[in-house]
């Protein structure tokens, strides 16, 4: 993700490449968010199995 951001910030890429890199970044962002959401749900389950109350936002 950092490499993609650096390429776009430098501005040394053609428009088509910039669009392609942006699309890659958006896809990666969605995948990472899904992974974080899954991890959060796992933590909630572990905490609930432990008998403690939890509120995750």
Write the pLDDT tens digit of every residue in 20-53. 989 999 999 999 999 999 998 888 777 777 677 6
Q: Does residue 12 surpass a pLDDT of 90?
A: no
Average pLDDT over residues 3-22: 87
Average pLDDT over residues 12-19: 88
Q: Does residue 14 surpass a pLDDT of 80?
A: yes
pLDDT value of residue 55: 61
First to last CA, the chain: 25
């Amino acid at each position: 993700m950092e490499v993609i951001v650096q390429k776009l910030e430098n501005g040394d890429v053609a428009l088509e490449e910039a669009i392609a890199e942006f699309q890659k970044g958006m896809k990666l962002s969605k995948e990472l968010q899904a992974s974080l959401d899954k991890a959060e749900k796992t933590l909630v389950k572990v905490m609930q199995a432990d008998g403690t109350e939890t509120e995750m936002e």
